[in-house]
A and B are shown apart, each in its own frame.
Chain A
Amino acid sequence: MAAASSKTIRCCYRVADGLISSNPQFRSRGTVTLLQQSRAFSTTQKTSQLEESIALRTRLIPASASYYNANPEYCDNILALEELLRKHETLPTVPGDQAPQVKWKTLVEYRDMIGGYVKPSRYNRVSRILNRLNRIEPSLLPQETKEALEPYKHVANEHLNIPRPRTVDGLGRAYGCGRRKTSVARVYVVEGNGEVMINGKPIMDVFPRLHDRESALWPLLSTSRMDKYNVWAVLEGGGTTGQAEALTLGLAKALLVHEPALKPALRRAGCVTRDPRGVERKKPGHLKARKMPTWVKR
């Protein structure tokens, strides 16, 4: 009896599957999240009878094809996006850097949207499709896609949130802050004739080494502006080299406030980018960052 019943059930499902695939009506049914029909199959029914009553015995089946998936919401989502992409795959695209700048929802935000846990790798799949859709030539982007992309966008667009440009203040001072290693330099630059004052002292007292003085004033030296500006700076933290190179960055930033066109020249002189290097961490088993204890045979 038991063997016969299981066979019958399997048979029924096959039929149901066939119905779903062949009849679009079933697919276009509204959202059904639960198996609405749980009909007990009688083991006494005969096969011939079953065939006759196929249409009559139509049951409610899950609207989502991924109902039996572990994460049906995600699956639906990705399937919908894939469908969308398949639809518009042939539309011309623009290179990635010319595509409209967007920031998609973060993983956490996406999980909230889906209402369940999503692996980061799965989210990557989503964002890949989103990026691909975003690269469609904007003038040809269908309204449907445009609307579909909207819910995936991060609410605050950082790329529109541009920092306020710095300006010379009422007293003619331009401010720039530079860092290197653990040093911080707060630099004020005014138009002048090449006077430099650091921590209230002449530069000779702060940097007795010529190399340090040179690297500190390098933004002005490399752009031949030494006789055009006066520098007033406060240096904190770190050692001599760090302070000198922090001053380089701060001075370059302040100088750029006065003359923004100098940026390429200063970049070539290596004064624009913050040097991210710091002290390398000590590792276990090492005496310092890299140093190992002396090798002993035994």
Chain B
Amino acid sequence: MVLLPLSLRCLGAPRLPLVLRPLPRVFPTSGAAASFTTSSTLLANPPKKANPQKGGNVKNLKAIAAKQRASSNKFQHKRKKRDIPERKRQYLDGQRKIIKNTIVLSNTNAPAITLPEMAKELAGNPETENTVFEIPGSVVDKLRHIEAFKTGQHWPYFQKPGTLVRKESTEIGAMINAVNEARLNKTELHERRILDGVKGSGRSILLAQAMAWAFQSDWVVISIPNSLDLVLGHTEYEYDTHWNVWVQKEYTAALLQRIHKANAPLLKNLKSTTPHRVGKTEKTFQTLLKLVDAGIEDSTVSHDIFMALIAELSMTDRPPVLFALDNLSLISRLSENRDTGFAKIHAHDLGIPNIFLSYLNGTKDFPRGLTIAATAPSPRTPDLTLALKGEKPGPWDKTDERIAPSIKGAKVVKCDPLRKEEVKTLMDWYTAGGIYKGAVTLETVAESYALSNGNPAELFKGCLRLKY
């Protein structure tokens, strides 16, 4: 009996004496009594309770706790907020592109050099070979309008634009003379040429020279200065069911603008009586200038107008036409433009390359004129390279069969390296122009010739650079 309550007690929870009882896990943090701890953090006042009405929340609590922790550390410096100056924009939108593409044709700091003018009478004269000529002022503006001058050429270093007449120049000059004679004799002559050579061999300069002589001989000059613009996919394009090509109306309008600027006085006097298809209607323009203006004003019909202009110029008793295109290699491959099935459009299916190539390969002819193209150093176009050589691709080669026929019949003008005499002439000119600082001797000419290997662009670079 006596044992019973004892035994029952054994079954219950063990009762530890009060002193041995474990402390509750969570220390009371609030209340007047300071908790027993040596930690200064815990000695600090407890954070204020979040008041949802005052916008307090868990995040705020955390921030407060962090702030307190930080303030408790004596050695922590307060960081000063640095004034961040407002960054000025170095260039406005599109400003850099303008700077990059600006053509500088004169350097007022350069010494003046007296050079003979590159007159039309000198075209094709073999005696003018190996001579530096000045491009006549009357032509410079026209060449600038038609974008015959390129960035990266030597123009910005001289007071007036000058150029060396080479063997290839006289070859082209002779062609221009021949066409001028045909004009006098009222016979027909349409020459087709392709300028080929390595990078920096002077193809674009030769094109500019041809244009300079053509302008002086009152030719209509149509130039596509860089066919890259057509195939890069940056210009808008659409399929035209009438012409069955992809037309680039905005580009064509800009091209017409350039044609207007460069050829206005000539086109003004060319009367037109033939009606032309403009959009869905047919129109007759009094002069070719008005025809061109119609295309500039309304870019939706620009391609029709361009085709009308070409057709007008292909009529008899029209002045000779110089139809030029730079970077032929770029239109001798697939373009970056995509069709509705997202396949790449062949550059030959684009309106302007298509019409240019039809004149280059003789499918269409001007009664009198010169269609001339210059190849590009890159990209590699094996089909074009083979076609220019007149070779056929191997049986296992992947070939683009449209390339060889597209330039069929056009003669190739090779831009060979300069000869040593030409190197000397150029170096004399560079010395007069303050570009080359050394003496022009047999030795230095031989050195420049060996280092540049007769490449005009490399020669200029080598002479421009500080000597060793």
Please list the residues of chain A having a beta carbon within 8 angstroms of any beta carbon in chain B: 193-196, 202-205, 210, 213-214, 217, 220-221, 224, 226-227
Contacts and interface: CB of A to CB of B under 8 A. Distances in A.
Contacts of B299: none
Contact of B453 (A193, A203, A220, A221): A203
Given A202-B417, A204-B458, A217 B451 contact: yes
B332 interface: no
A118 B455 CA distance: 68
Interface string B392-416: 0000000000000000000000000
A227 B446 contact: yes
A226 B443 contact: yes
A214 B445 CA distance: 14
B450 interface: yes
Contacts of B442: 227
A210 B458 contact: yes
Contact of A204 (B198, B420, B443, B446): B198
B450 A204 contact: no
A193 B446 contact: yes
A179 B449 CA distance: 26
Nearest to B446: A227
B453 A226 contact: no
A275 to B, nearest CB: 20
A194 B417 contact: no
B462 interface: yes
Contacts of B96: none
Given A204-B455, A224-B443, A194 B449 contact: yes
Contacts of A226: 443, 446-447, 450
Contacts of B462: 210
Contacts of B198: 204-205
B152 to A, nearest CB: 15
27 contacts: A193-B420, A193-B446, A194-B446, A194-B450, A195-B450, A196-B450, A196-B453, A203-B453, A204-B198, A204-B417, A204-B452, A204-B453, A204-B458, A210-B458, A210-B461, A210-B462, A213-B451, A213-B453, A214-B451, A217-B450, A217-B451, A221-B447, A221-B451, A226-B446, A227-B442, A227-B445, A227-B446
Interface string B15-57: 0000000000000000000000000000000000000000000
A227 B443 contact: yes
A214 B452 CA distance: 10
B450 A203 contact: yes
Contacts of A227: 442-443, 445-447
Nearest to B443: A224
A226 B442 CA distance: 10
Given A210-B461, A217-B451, A226-B443, 18 more contacts: A193-B446, A194-B450, A195-B450, A196-B450, A202-B417, A203-B450, A203-B453, A204-B453, A205-B198, A210-B451, A210-B465, A213-B450, A221-B447, A224-B443, A226-B446, A226-B450, A227-B442, A227-B446
Contacts of A221: 447, 451
A174 B384 CA distance: 41
B448 to A, nearest CB: 9
Contacts of A202: 417, 453
Interface in B324-368: none
Contacts of A217: 450-451
A205 B458 CA distance: 12
* Residue among A194, A203, A224 having the largest count of chain B Cβ atoms under 10 Å: A194
Contacts of B452: 204
Nearest to A208: B199
Nearest to B199: A208
Ordered nearest first, which 4 A-B pairs have the shortest CB separation?
Answer: A227-B446, A204-B453, A194-B446, A226-B446
* Residue among B198, B443, B455, B462 having the largest count of chain A Cβ atoms under 10 Å: B443
Interface string B253-287: 00000000000000000000000000000000000
A226 B452 CA distance: 13
A204 B461 CA distance: 13
Contacts of B450: 194-196, 203, 213, 217, 220, 226
Nearest to B451: A213
A213 B449 CA distance: 12
A217 B462 CA distance: 14
A224 B465 CA distance: 19
Nearest to B200: A204
A255 to B, nearest CB: 14
A224 B462 CA distance: 17
A258 to B, nearest CB: 16
Interface in B419-468: 420, 442-443, 445-447, 449-453, 455, 458, 461-462, 465
B463 to A, nearest CB: 11
Contacts of B451: 203, 210, 213-214, 217, 221
B201 to A, nearest CB: 10
Contacts of A194: 446-447, 449-450
Contacts of A193: 420, 446
A219 B407 CA distance: 46
